[in-house]
């Protein structure tokens, strides 16, 4: 089989992983086929490297990886290439806002993930990568968004309809994929990016071919070139089978955007 594209950038939660946090055997099988055909398979996740690494090892990946929504790019597993840190003053402001609204929050430092239950108030001495909030109250989430936009200097996305994830401005999965392309000597036009949430949107828009999972948020589906089965129905296997590997090796044109 010949590959139409050179890089497959995969979100993890809600995309590569099913709802039981597992990669199904069929998905593993097709990822191996893609790798055998010369496709670079790259994890592109909001997770920390510590949390993502076991899955990279399960798949036998030795490619660059995008972690913490692009705040880290790894040249290979266990080999850091670039890290973008958050302004400590912004972290303090975001923590104040979390306290004010009395909602669940978490923050990724270089070494650890902290949340409302484990927060010790020590901000200045740590290096921060990402901050997040979670609430099912739509009104509070909207007010939060307004406050965050007023702060400035922030890249605001989500990894579920009920949360907000914040990285330094300009840092996202698309910027991470662009760096990975440079490391591999390929172009964004040769990338297939797959995801389900707003933190995948920039990657889906800017890659050569953007795919939304069947369980993706509506905005993501609207911006994608194709929509496949859900994360519980081997959507990634479908991506590889339909859009990446071809018997003939002829390059297919971009599928028109979903209505």
Give percent of the chain above pLDDT 70: 95
Give me the pLDDT at residue 246, please: 80
What's the mean pLDDT in 207-227? Answer: 98
State the Cα–Cα distance between residues 43 and 128, nearest whole angstrom.
21
Domain that holds residue 11: 2-83+172-246
Both 164 and 98 in one domain: the answer is yes
Query: Is the pLDDT at 256 greater than 50, yes or no?
Result: no
Both 7 and 78 in one domain: the answer is yes
**Interval 155-196: pLDDT, tens:** 999 999 999 999 999 999 999 999 999 999 999 999 999 999
Give me the pLDDT at residue 155, please: 97
Both 130 and 156 in one domain: the answer is yes
- Please indicate, yes or no, if residue 129 is contained in any of the structural domains: yes
- Please indicate, yes or no, if residue 259 is contained in any of the structural domains: no
Both 183 and 234 in one domain: the answer is yes
Query: Is the pLDDT at 259 greater than 80, yes or no?
Result: no
Last residue of a domain, one of 168, 201, 218: 168
What's the mean pLDDT in 4-22? Answer: 97
Give me the pLDDT at residue 3, please: 83
Mean pLDDT, the chain, as a whole number? 94
Task: Read off the CATH number of the domain in which 127 is found.
Answer: 3.30.1240.10
Both 203 and 220 in one domain: the answer is yes
Task: Read off the CATH number of the domain in which 223 is found.
Answer: 3.40.50.1000
What's the mean pLDDT in 148-153? Answer: 95
- Please indicate, yes or no, if residue 255 is contained in any of the structural domains: no
- Please indicate, yes or no, if residue 240 is contained in any of the structural domains: yes
Last residue of a domain, one of 168, 198, 221: 168
Last residue of a domain, one of 136, 168, 200: 168
Both 76 and 182 in one domain: the answer is yes
Query: Is the pLDDT at 252 greater than 80, yes or no?
Result: no
pLDDT band at residue 10, thresholds of 50, 70 and 90?
very high
Both 65 and 36 in one domain: the answer is yes
Give me the pLDDT at residue 250, please: 38
Give me the pLDDT at residue 247, please: 64
- Please indicate, yes or no, if residue 254 is contained in any of the structural domains: no
Query: Is the pLDDT at 80 greater than 60, yes or no?
Result: yes
- Please indicate, yes or no, if residue 258 is contained in any of the structural domains: no
Q: How many domains does the chain have?
A: 2
Both 16 and 59 in one domain: the answer is yes
**Interval 87-138: pLDDT, tens:** 999 999 999 999 999 999 999 999 999 999 999 999 999 999 999 999 999 9
Both 110 and 238 in one domain: the answer is no
Both 156 and 177 in one domain: the answer is no
List active site positions: 11
Tokens linked to 1: 């089989």
- Please indicate, yes or no, if residue 223 is contained in any of the structural domains: yes
Both 75 and 183 in one domain: the answer is yes
- Please indicate, yes or no, if residue 252 is contained in any of the structural domains: no
Give percent of the chain above pLDDT 90: 92
């Amino acid at each position: 089989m010949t590959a139409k594209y050179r890089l497959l950038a995969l979100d993890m939660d809600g995309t590569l992983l099913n709802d039981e946090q597992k990669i199904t055997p069929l998905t593993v099988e097709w990822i191996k086929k893609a790798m055998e055909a010369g496709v670079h398979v790259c994890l592109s996740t909001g997770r920390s490297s510590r949390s993502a690494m076991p899955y990279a090892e399960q798949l036998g990946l030795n490619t660059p990886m995008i972690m913490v929504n692009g705040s880290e790019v790894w040249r290979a597993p266990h080999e850091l290439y670039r890290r973008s840190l958050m302004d400590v003053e912004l972290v303090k402001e975001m923590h104040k806002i979390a306290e004010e609204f009395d909602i669940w929050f978490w923050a990724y430092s270089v070494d650890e993930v902290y949340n409302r239950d484990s927060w010790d108030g020590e901000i200045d001495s740590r290096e921060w990568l990402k901050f997040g909030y979670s609430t099912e109250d739509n009104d509070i989430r909207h007010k939060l968004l307004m406050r965050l936009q007023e702060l400035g200097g922030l890249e605001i996305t989500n990894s579920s309809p009920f949360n907000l994830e914040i990285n330094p401005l300009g840092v996202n999965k698309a910027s991470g994929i662009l760096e990975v392309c440079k490391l591999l000597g390929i172009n964004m036009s040769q990338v297939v990016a797959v995801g389900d949430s707003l933190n995948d949107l920039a990657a889906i828009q800017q890659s050569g071919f953007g795919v939304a999972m069947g369980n993706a948020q509506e905005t993501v589906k609207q911006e994608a070139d194709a929509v496949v089965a859900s994360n519980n129905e081997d959507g990634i296997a479908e991506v590889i089978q339909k859009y990446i590997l071809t018997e003939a090796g002829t390059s297919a044109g971009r599928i028109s955007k979903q209505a």
